Amino acid sequence: MSKPAILCVDDELVILESLKAQLRKALGSAYVYEVAENAEEALEIIDELNAEEIGIILIVSDWLMPGMKGDEFLIRVHQKFPNIVKILLTGQADLAAIDRAYKEAKIHQCLSKPWSENELIETIKSGLEKL
């Protein structure tokens, strides 16, 4: 059986690298860590991993990205994979978008940028406990 995956989605490469490093430091090698620079790429990765029978258990997504915004992306993910734990990461989301993400994507939590590493890891651990 393959390891479950955690997917980070953000249009800034430095943020993706930071998220991946913090997750690997806190959670070790128990998971596969994937990154995508936009929602479309993330949806492709989800489909590829699903085809390889690698389950994505958690997604951390930025809100403000070119193309599809994070709330819309997470709603689409939720419609297809309702059991994935979803966390919205944002510095600029409007309250309506955050509210919509809670209601329609059933996000676990919304974190503000810049985030604290402790808050991020605690949020992810509490999300993983729901599985």
- What are the backbone angles phi and psi of residue 11, rounded to the nearest 5°? -85, 0
Half-sphere exposure of 103 (CA within 13 A, CB side): 6
Joined tokens for residue 76: 């689409």
**Using 50, 70 and 90 to split pLDDT, how confident is the model at 76?**
very high
Domain boundaries, the chain: 5-129
Residue tagged 């489909």 (tokens)? 47
Report the pLDDT averaged over residues 67-82. 97
The 10s digit of each residue's pLDDT in 17-27 is 999 999 999 99
The CATH number of domain 5-129 is 3.40.50.2300:
yes
pLDDT tens digits, 34-55: 999 999 999 999 999 999 999 9
- The pTM (predicted TM-score) of the whole model is 0.96
- Place 92 in a pLDDT band, splitting at 50, 70 and 90: confident
